A and B are shown apart, each in its own frame.
Chain A
């Protein structure tokens, strides 16, 4: 096995530096794309050990990650700033598979560097995502016993809100702005349908059409982190999720005030 061969040779200093860089690259990539802290730490550790250092210590903060490797009595420490790149499970899977391939001996250090560098940001086609979200929110309306007309209104409203999110994404707005705008658009479409008397139930239509903006992933990740002892990252994830939800509420309120349709109350 390749990894066994690597382990027998004590790393020289440039080698240890390179291993440290690979570990922090893997950790940062995972953190940027929505992996929970426990996974970030375990992948960085296993990657480093398989690459021949004695141990890897990882400290995760909300907007930075620190990695220290130990080898032959020498420590190498490095910090990387973390910017959120949006949830991308494809990237998380690729990093994890790189680590697994290394552990199975199918990759060496150069191979890992190449694989990590070659990870591309795979995205599903935009029209498919918008369509999927429209259908999802329509199903949420159906689960709340909404009739067919209500579901149709929710489909259009949430699909347009998703299109707004997709249009704002390349412009690098703060996500809070994006969520505010998307909530306003969704609520406006639902309110317009109520005003035009298209036969939609106001409460269900307005509530379901903003459900694409519930920050479900950060909420679950936040609680998960805290359950596993990463209280700091857990709190920051939960606070950010709460801020996104508050921005969404602002958009809903503006929408209801503009159209004077108070479907929620």
Chain B
């Protein structure tokens, strides 16, 4: 029950940034709902996969979550007569590792300013690699339908 409550909260919180960034990307108004849904499903699924019973590494969880959102997006894209990326990229935004990305860059700047220390090097490499692999997982996950099912024909 506790897990379900945490999941509901996670999904609700993730749907807001998906729509917020969809507004910046000028996604057409009638697709904003799908962005919210995609954001909630993706982030929620990743939350489930990394928490207690499954405990999957976050990169693999991200890959699976992105692939599921992308598969749903492909089905919707036909109906909406629009490329799935139009609304699935906005749905990925809540999963983009912004904090590790900036942490790594700031640590590199800090190394330049104060000299190399073990702590700074650790932050730079750990955060940087985490950001790199999660972003890779997001992009590859979104490409999964094209890689597996739509190899020689267009989605829309």
Residues of A that sit less than 8 Å from B by CB: 34-36, 38-39, 42, 46, 87-93, 96-97, 100, 122-124, 128-129, 132-133, 135-140, 142-144, 207-208, 210-212, 214, 216-217, 219-224, 227-228, 245-246, 248-249, 252-253, 264-265
Contacts and interface: CB of A to CB of B under 8 A. Distances in A.
A122 B26 contact: yes
Nearest to B107: A265
A219 B26 contact: no
B23 A207 contact: no
Interface in B12-64: 13-14, 16-17, 19-29, 31
A100 B72 CA distance: 21
A123 B139 contact: no
Contact of A129 (B24, B31, B82, B147): B24
A35 B105 CA distance: 27
Residue of A132, A222, A245 ringed by the most chain B CB atoms within 10 A: A132
B32 to A, nearest CB: 9
B156 to A, nearest CB: 7
B83 A217 contact: no
Contacts, number: 151
B129 interface: no
Nearest to A234: B139
Contacts of A245: 101-102, 105
Nearest to B103: A264
Contacts of A252: 102, 106
B115 interface: no
Contact of B16 (A35, A136, A216, A220): A136
B20 A133 contact: yes
Contacts of A129: 23-24
